[in-house]
Amino acid sequence: MLVRINPQSFVAFSAKGARVALSARLQGLSRAGRTGQWPVVLHGPRSSFSGRVCAVRKSELAIQLAHRRLHRRSSKKQIRTRPETLEFAKYVVVFTTRSIGSAEEILQLYPMRWQIELAFKRMKSLARLGHLPEYDDRSSCAWLYGKLFVALLAQKTIRVGRDISPSGTTISPCPIAQSFGANSASRFIRYRTP
């Protein structure tokens, strides 16, 4: 498990049962890019499980942008931003049950996890994977596999289709356009036969 947490509502305990004061630990990360990790235990209604909290202090520019976003939201909703909220906005804090890897490696995994979430969100909206029309397990599974197959086939066709011209020739970037940069290359193309 790897999830981003809201430090204000996150209740964690040490292995000895004492509550972990996350705000005090985060304040120890005084420089931008500095990371920290702390083993914690979470207690649920029927069970508890252990993991660790990994955190990194944002850059000054990222902190300013986060504060600006918070002030804009509080102004729009006409609420007062608490000082703790502004303090916690200086960090990216995640909880993981993964026992191997450093805090830096865990924090590098989080953006990759977000890309996977975006891919599933895109599939749910474009391929309508959000609701299964059948209630039988076997038919639901067949419906889902069929939708996933069509979505992946469409994605592959789009990738291949970018390089094929309607005339049946392959499109390659023009050498002159490449000298202008990658963004300009798509404007200047030449055709060659396969």
What pLDDT is recorded for position 189? 37
Angle at 3 between CA 46 and CA 103, to 5 degrees: 110
User: In the chain, what is the straight-line distance between the N-terminal and C-terminal CA atoms, in Å?
Assistant: 47
Cα-Cα-Cα-Cα torsion 113, 117, 123, 125, nearest 10 degrees, comes to -160
Domain residues of the chain, as ranges? 2-122, 127-161
Q: What is the pLDDT of residue 130?
A: 67
Dump pLDDT digits (tens) for 92-103. 898 988 888 888
H, E, C per residue of 136-155 = CHHHHHHHHHHHHHHHHHHH
pLDDT tens digits for 126-175? Answer: 777 767 776 788 888 888 888 888 888 887 887 777 666 565 555 555 55
Please write the tens of the pLDDT for every residue from 15-54: 888 888 888 888 888 898 888 888 888 887 888 888 899 9
* The pLDDT value given to residue 65: 92
* Residue 61: band (very low, low, confident or very high) from pLDDT cuts 50, 70, 90: very high
pLDDT the model gives residue 124: 78
pTM exceeds cut of 0.75 = no
Instruction: Please report the pLDDT score of residue 57 as a whole number.
Output: 92
Q: Which helix (H) or strand (E) holds 118?
A: helix 103-126
